[in-house]
Amino acid sequence: MKRSVFARMCGAVAVVGAALAAPLCGCGQSAPPVTNDEGDASAPPEPVTLFPDAPPLPGETECKVVIRTGIPVPSAIHVPACTPVQYATNPPSGGDHWGSWAEYKRYEAEVPRELYVHNLEHGAIVLAYRCPASGCAEVTAMLEEVRTEAASDPRCLTLSGGPEARLVMTPDSALDTPIAAAAWGATYTATCLDKASLSRFVADNYARGPEDTCSGASAVDVDRPDGGAPDCDGALPDDGAPDASAGTAGGGVP
């Protein structure tokens, strides 16, 4: 996947000609759009479809893996916490999001999409699953293997008490498929267990967000009552209420 010039130079000043400086990219600002392999930010990307030799998961009719890359992300700004955001892909592959993000770990509670999209902006991979009432132990076992076997991240290892890598594993009841993964500008969906293709997706799309950071400064843990996650209770924020986590044109939290 080809990243735009501004995405690769986020946080740096580009000098064009004699003295033209490109603006800095700060968290909370509109991120440079992801383009497809032809450099067109509007044309839909061509998906890659695989049919692994594996049985379909319960409720599915065939074993199919679909990988999409180069998905355009036209906007990536902070919105007030608890504001719902509609995403163009399922799972989300970027877009507007809340000012905080999820700690990098495996979750039992469902991480709100508006939180984990912020993780994607930081270059993370989200491993998501949709469980039937009967459970999905084999799905979570495979995702946990992919999560724990992923390569360590030097940016994370320099942080005291930090994670080994920018990976979030969460249930997601809004998925169309039992298994999914997301990166900035890329998605993976599967109706069967295929560890090889999922591990490859993680390796190929890791650290591709416009903000390449492992920072935990505003990270929250939705599994812990004291984890700092927004207490939304299904209510929308007041339209006129200021939100300290929302980004501004001058930049926001990391």
In a domain, 76, yes or no: yes
pLDDT tens digits, residue range 106-119? Answer: 999 999 999 999 99
Q: Do 221 and 2 touch, CB atoms closer than 8 A? A: no
Host domain of residue 79:
27-220
Indicate whether this model's pTM tops 0.75.
yes
C-alpha of 38 from chain center: 23
Which tens digit of pLDDT belongs to each residue from 176-192?
999 999 999 999 999 99
* 20 within a domain of the structure (yes/no): no
Least confident of 40-44, 61-65, 96-100: 40-44
Residue 52: inside a domain? yes
Residue 31 confidence (pLDDT) above 80: no
**Is the CA virtual torsion 174, 129, 116, 181 positive or negative?**
negative
On whether residue 78 sits in a domain, the answer given is yes
Read off the amino acid at residue 178: P
Predicted pLDDT at 25: 41
Task: Determine, yes or no, domain membership for 5.
Answer: no
Q: And the tokens for 22?
A: 């490109």
Q: Write the burial class of residue 214 (CB in 10 Å: 0-12 exposed, 13-18 middle, 19+ buried).
A: buried
Q: Is residue 14 part of a domain?
A: no
> Mean pLDDT lowest for which of 3-17, 140-154, 196-210?
3-17
Number of domains in the chain: 1
pLDDT tens per residue across span 123-181: 999 999 999 999 999 999 999 999 999 999 999 999 988 899 999 999 999 999 999 99
167 is a domain residue:
yes
- For residue 35, with 0-12 CB atoms within 10 Å meaning exposed, 13-18 middle and 19 or more buried, which class applies? buried
